[in-house]
């Protein structure tokens, strides 16, 4: 029996959203074209940015994009599913670049798997996460702690999840998160204030990575960013 290739995790630190988006797109192309074999999980933290998914409604962005840009906030249209999302410092963003041919050709299954990864990680840090019927993402009671939006190209995934670790929750007042009126956003620090003095980012990082390996039933290997260098066509 063949042993499945591991999932390679690369920590990008804090990185501009545009730069990371183009990196995702290139890695996806390389996998679609058969140049890159490994499945990847990129972990990153972004400066403040608002992204508009394919399902974004005009009512989800009460402040016009040009006003947000004047305030120094990027507003970017992207190909992922879902509505408007905000990324900001203190939020852990994960971008799996997976070939679902190696897992299961079912986008709904994949979304539920990502939710389970985050529910498992939250459990490790002492928070009970859950799903909400009919909605994508992860919640703590009626408060949303993680958003998920993905895109698939020939069954290779890009985009992913955003988990609020110690995000400034007031920033979500600039948008209607995920297009859900009156949604209350939360974070790990908000739910467990006692964690603020700990190395919360690293403990959450380890919990997410370990949960990813457990839920997808693949070994995890950590690798430096150099492994993402472009692969030339033959």
Q: Which residues are catalytic?
A: 178
Spell out a b/e string for 195-223, using b for 16 or more CB atoms within 10 Å of the CB, else e: beeeebeebbbebbbebbbebbebebeee
- Strands across the sheet with 84-87, in order? 74-77, 49-52, 84-87
Nearest Cα neighbor of 204 from 167, 160, 173 is 167
Q: Give the Cα separation of 192 and 187 in Å (integer).
A: 8
Distances (CA, A) of 216 to 74, 147, 210: 33, 19, 10
Backbone phi and psi for residue 54, each to the nearest 5 degrees, phi listed first: -65, -25
Beta-carbon contacts of 232 under 8 Å, excluding residues fewer than 6 positions away, are none
Q: H or E segment at 95?
A: strand 91-97
For 226, the token pair is 């150099």
Query: Would you state the structure tokens that stand for residue 146, as one six-digit string?
Result: 């993680």
């Amino acid at each position: 029996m063949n042993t499945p290739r591991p999932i390679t995790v690369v920590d990008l630190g804090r990185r501009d959203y545009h730069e990371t988006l183009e990196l995702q797109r290139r890695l996806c192309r390389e996998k679609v074209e058969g140049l890159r074999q490994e499945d990847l999980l990129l972990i990153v933290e972004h400066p403040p940015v608002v992204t508009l998914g394919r399902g974004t409604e005009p009512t989800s962005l009460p402040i016009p994009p040009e006003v947000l840009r004047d305030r120094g906030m990027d507003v970017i249209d992207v190909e992922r599913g879902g509505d408007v999302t905000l990324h900001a410092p203190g939020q852990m963003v994960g971008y799996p670049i997976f070939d679902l041919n190696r897992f299961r050709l079912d986008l709904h299954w994949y979304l539920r798997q990502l939710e389970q990864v985050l529910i498992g990680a939250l459990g490790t840090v002492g928070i009970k996460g859950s799903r909400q019927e009919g909605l994508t993402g992860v919640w703590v009671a009626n408060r949303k702690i993680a958003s998920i939006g993905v895109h698939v190209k020939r069954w290779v995934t890009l985009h992913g999840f955003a988990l609020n670790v110690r995000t400034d929750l007031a920033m979500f007042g600039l948008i209607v998160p995920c297009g859900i009126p009156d949604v209350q956003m939360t974070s790990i620090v908000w739910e467990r204030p006692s964690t603020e003095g700990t190395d919360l980012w690293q403990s959450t990082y380890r919990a997410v990575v370990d949960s990813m390996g457990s839920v997808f039933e693949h070994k995890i290997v950590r690798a430096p960013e150099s492994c993402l260098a472009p692969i030339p066509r033959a």
